[in-house]
Each structure stands twice: as structure tokens, then as C-alpha cells.
Amino acid sequence: MNQKIKKAYLLIFILAIALTGLPYAEARIVDGKCVTAEVQSISPSSVGIDEEFTLGINLESCGNEIPEDVSFAITSIPSDIIVTEDLVTNIPELFYSTSERYVRYHMKTTSDAKPGPHTIKMMLTYDNEGAKVSKNYEVEINVMGEDAEPRISSVKTYPGYIYEGDTVDLELGIENYGDAIAKSVVVSLVHEFEGIKDSTIGTLDINGTQTALFKFKASKAGDFKIPVIIEYEDDFGNQKDEYEIKITVLDEKGILNIASIKVSPVLPYMGDTVELTMRVENFGDRTINSIRVYANHSFMGLKESFIGTLEPNEDGPAVITFITDKSGEYEIPITITYSDDFGEEQIETKVNVIVLETEDGAGEAIGTILVVLVIAGLIYYNYRTKKSKDKIIKQLMKGNSNLNTGKK
């Protein structure tokens, strides 16, 4: 192409710009080789998380000579944007001055892409009289994000009425009221009771609901405000929200008690085998599990009896068997324990047992007393018999005296 033709094309181009009203500075043609790049489209214009989009780049010759060895490359891209095409596009030449070439990149944001502006860096190179000309460009992709909003939607406790000493199963319904998925959701309770305080839900979809499960020991009565902390991740990163629930623990004392005590034999002697039977009653309104009765006596024999489970208003026997190896009156401490997931509860009382001397010694004593009584009876009998004989002798002697008097 000779210089006259080039000048003619240039004149026509300038005239076209003047007629359309476009700024001359943006479309002027320079002498020699020149190439520019311009972002033509981002489709869709609003890019969300885990979404596909295209980036269109227009390469245009802006000189009066044909550019050769044109190369356009993406040199830097954020880690949460994936490009499906080759990052480098090579063009041997733009066939004539003022020609254009459209380059399109298919891209996709990752599922964990962060909302906000993302900068993609690009480079245009071409040959100009044996020298490489480089131009750097940047394009900003604004990734749109949404907030998740997991909140407490329901509160349930088992049992419904909580008494002091109860093991409580707490269920919190957690619902996502936001416009983004809540990921890595963890719900935590902040209270002074012993038990399970953290529950991991995982992923909570938009409008999705899951249940956070907890278990704790209501160790004292009262009204309690329990903070609930929900930690999660949404489009904007890690988040933490705090809410509050109220729990009332009722006062209930003396769930278990000894209803009756039986000692067999009633008055044991030294050396006897004694059977101590205690009937333990559950007079509360909840089931008691793993009930054991421990008698801390000093005799040889069993000290513990396992009852198991008692329903409300139910009683069960605890039998302790031991051998009395010494006499006296003994106060035996009794400990009633029941277990749950968090340890043992205890109720303490006492039982009195009287142990007599050996049965043989008692028989000897009774025999001695009987002998004494027999001897005393014999003495009394002899005494009464002697008095009777003396009286008869006196009467006989008096009768003889009267006969003698009559003869005179």
C-alpha cells in the first residue's frame, strides 16, 4: 500500500470520526505500527460466586502499518477465578491497518470465591521494527456476594419441665434466613452447667433448617439466660452472631428415699447372718436410673446392692447381707447413688442395728437365774414346811398337857 492510499484512508477515517462526534484522541492513527487492547464486554455484567462469565477483549491496529507478531496474554489472575482457555493468544499479524481481532475468555468463579473486586492483569506485545513493544492492562471483575443469616428458630427441652438434678436434652432449630449458603456452622452454648456445649451442623442451605443437639446437667434451680453463639462462613468470610435463650430449672428435692427397713433376724446375736432389706422409693415425677445402695458397716459381708431403674412412685429392694462378729448398737451410714451421663448424685441416711451377745451365753445366764429361782423356791418351801411342823408339834404337846391335868 503506497503513501497516497494510506493518506486517503487516513483522511476518510478522520472525516468519519468528525461526522459521528467521537473524540479524535481515542481513534487517532499514528505513523508506524500500533496495537491497542480494549475490554469490550463482561457477560453477565454482574458476576456471582460459582458462576460462569466471559471476558471479551478487542485488539485493534492503531497505526498506519500492519503490525506483526501480536500476542495478548493474561499475566495474573486471582485464585478464585478459573480461565478455561489458553492464557496466551498469538496473532501472526493484523492483516491491514485499522483491522481488529476479538479475543474471548471463558471464566468461572469458584464456589469459595470472595465477594468484591478482583483484578485481572493482561499484557499486549507486538513487533515494531525488530523491537518488542509491551502494553499492560488491567480489568476489574466485581464478584457479587450475599449474606447468610443462621438464627434460632425453635427451642425444645427434654424433659419439658426441668428440675434440679435433671439431665437435659436441648434441641435448637437453626434456620438460614439469609441469601447465601452458611458453611461450617457451629453452635455453642455459654453456661455454667456440666455437659455438651458445642454442636456442629456443617452446611445450612438458603431457607434450610437443621437441629443443634446439646446435653447438660441442671445442677441448680433458677432462671438462666444462656448465650448462644453461631459461627459460620458465608460469601464474605467467617462470621459470628450471638443470641440468647432462657431456661428455667425448678427446685425439686428428695427424689429418692428409704420407704422401709427390715432386719432379719430382728435382734441378731453375735455370729448371726443378718439380712438388711431397705425398700428405696422414687416419689418424684421422673425416672431414676442406675440406683445403688451402699451400707458402710464394719462387719464381714456385702456392702452394696444394685436396684437399677425406678419409675415415678415405684420402689425396689436393696438387700445387704453380713455376719455380726461383735455385739453392740451400730449406726450404719447408708449412701444411695444414681448415675447419669455426667456422674453420680448421692443421698445419705443412717440405719441403726442392735447386735446381742451370743445366744449360748444368754442361755447360761437364764439357766443360772432359773437355778437361783429354784433354790429360792426350795428354801421358801422348806421354810413354810418347817413352820407347819413346829405348829403341829406344839399342838400335840399342848394336848398331852391337858390329858395329864384331867387325871388329877
Q: Is pLDDT larger for residue 149 or for residue 28?
A: 149
Q: What is the 3-state secondary structure (H, E, C) of the chain?
A: CCHHHHHHHHHHHHHHHHHHCCCHHHCCCECCCCEEEEEEEEECCCEECCCEEEEEEEEEECECCCCEEEEEEEEECCCCEEECCCCEEEEEECCCCCCEEEEEEEEEECCCCCCEEEEEEEEEEEEECCEEEEEEEEEEEEEECCCCCEEEEEEEEECCCEECCCEEEEEEEEEECCCCCEEEEEEEECCCCEEECEEEEEEECCCCEEEEEEEEECCCCEEEEEEEEEEEEECCEEEEEEEEEEEEEECCCCCEEEEEEEEECCCCECCCEEEEEEEEEECCCCCEEEEEEEECCCCEECCEEEEEEECCCEEEEEEEEEECCCCEEEEEEEEEEEEECCEEEEEEEEEEEEEECCHHHHHHHHHHHHHHHHHHHHHHHHHHHHHHHHHHHHHHHHHHHHHHHHHC
Instruction: For residue range 172-206, list pLDDT tens digits in order.
Output: 999 999 998 999 999 999 999 999 999 999 999 99
pLDDT at 372 over 60: no
* pLDDT (average), residues 48-64: 90
- Who contacts 21 (Cβ-Cβ below 8 Å, separation ≥6)? none
Say if residues 137 and 105 touch (Cβ distance below 8 Å). Answer: no
- Who contacts 370 (Cβ-Cβ below 8 Å, separation ≥6)? none
CA atoms within 13 A on the CB side of 130: 0
CATH number for region 31-144: 2.60.40.10
Write down the pLDDT at residue 283: 81
Q: Give the separation between CA 164 and CA 220, rounded to whole angstroms.
A: 5
Q: Is pLDDT larger for residue 288 or for residue 123?
A: 123
Q: Is pLDDT larger for residue 118 or for residue 390?
A: 118
Say if residues 307 and 256 touch (Cβ distance below 8 Å). Answer: no
Average pLDDT, the chain: 81
Q: For domain 256-355, say whether CATH 3.90.226.10 is its number.
A: no
pLDDT at 113 over 50: yes
Assign domain 150-250 to its CATH superfamily: Immunoglobulins (2.60.40.10)
How crowded is residue 371: how many other Cβ atoms within 10 Å of its Cβ?
10
pLDDT at 285 over 50: yes
Structure-block grid coordinates of residue 40: 469490550
Q: Indicate the pLDDT class of residue 384, thresholds 50, 70 and 90.
A: very low
In this structure, are strands 47-48 and 131-144 parallel, antiparallel, or unpaired? Answer: parallel
* pLDDT (average), residues 81-92: 91
Say if residues 234 and 206 touch (Cβ distance below 8 Å). Answer: no
Per the listing, cell 496474554 goes with: 73
Say if residues 244 and 228 touch (Cβ distance below 8 Å). Answer: yes
The type of residue at 379 is I
Q: Indicate the pLDDT class of residue 11, thresholds 50, 70 and 90.
A: very low
Write down the pLDDT at residue 92: 83
Write down the pLDDT at residue 313: 87
